[in-house]
């Protein structure tokens, strides 16, 4: 198996959300249990509601972005996806198309499945282009089918 997802995946999926939620979660709890009427010029009730909303919006942001990222590996017959706890294996004939978005620093790739699997109908990951090119060079037969699937996504 050859990993084609970026090393940044684990950092973005686990470390950043954990640190952010712990820091702002504890800060929000501290503000809620504090018995004052004002935080500087801001009334305490507005500060508590604002921080609670900020915490909730931050959690939702991480849930719909970073926490959806998967670690993806390929071999001649299968696509392997992992959320760092479970790994699922999908045959290439179950892949409908592959789409790619270039965000400058990152290439976000989505593998769309014909039949939903353990992680749903779409697997999203950050592409490591060097590892992907290395896989394509070592497996030219698979490269043709992957190229066809990428063309379907365009």
The domain that holds 118 is classified in CATH as 2.30.29.210
Number of domains making up the chain:
2
Same domain (yes/no): 79, 130 = yes
Task: Work out the pLDDT band at 150, boundaries 50, 70, 90.
Answer: low
Same domain (yes/no): 99, 25 = no
Q: Which residues contact 7 (CB under 8 A, 6 or more apart)?
A: 128
Per-residue pLDDT of 39-48, as tens digits, reads 889 898 999 9
Task: Work out the pLDDT band at 19, boundaries 50, 70, 90.
Answer: very high
Across the beta sheet with 71-74, the strand order is 2-3, 71-74, 78-82, 87-91
- In terms of pLDDT, which residue wins out, 121 or 149? 121
Residue 1 lies in a domain: no
| 138: Cα within 13 Å, side-chain hemisphere | 12
Same domain (yes/no): 32, 86 = no
Tell me what the pLDDT averaged over the chain comes to. Answer: 90
Residue 113 is predicted with a pLDDT of 93
Same domain (yes/no): 108, 49 = no
Per-residue pLDDT of 49-103, as tens digits, reads 999 999 999 999 999 999 999 999 998 889 999 999 999 999 988 988 888 898 8
What's the whole-model pTM score? 0.83
Print the domain residue range for 30: 7-66
Of 36, 66, 96, which marks where a domain is finished?
Answer: 66
Q: Rounded to the nearest 5 degrees, what angle is found at the Cα of 119, between the Cα atoms of 115 and 14?
A: 160
């Amino acid at each position: 198996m050859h990993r084609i997802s970026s090393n940044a995946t684990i950092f973005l999926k686990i470390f950043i959300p954990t640190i952010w939620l712990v820091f702002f979660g504890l800060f929000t709890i501290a503000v809620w249990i504090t018995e004052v009427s004002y935080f500087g010029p801001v009334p305490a009730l507005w500060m508590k509601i604002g921080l609670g909303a900020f915490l909730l919006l931050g959690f939702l942001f991480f849930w719909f972005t970073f926490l959806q990222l998967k670690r993806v590996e390929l071999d001649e017959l299968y696509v392997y996806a992992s959320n760092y706890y479970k790994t699922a294996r999908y045959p290439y004939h179950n892949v409908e198309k592959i789409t790619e978005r270039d965000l400058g620093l990152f290439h976000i790739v989505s593998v769309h499945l014909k039949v939903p699997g353990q992680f749903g109908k779409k697997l999203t990951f950050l592409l490591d282009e060097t590892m992907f090119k290395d896989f394509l060079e070592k497996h030219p037969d698979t490269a043709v089918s992957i190229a066809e699937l990428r063309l379907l996504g365009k």
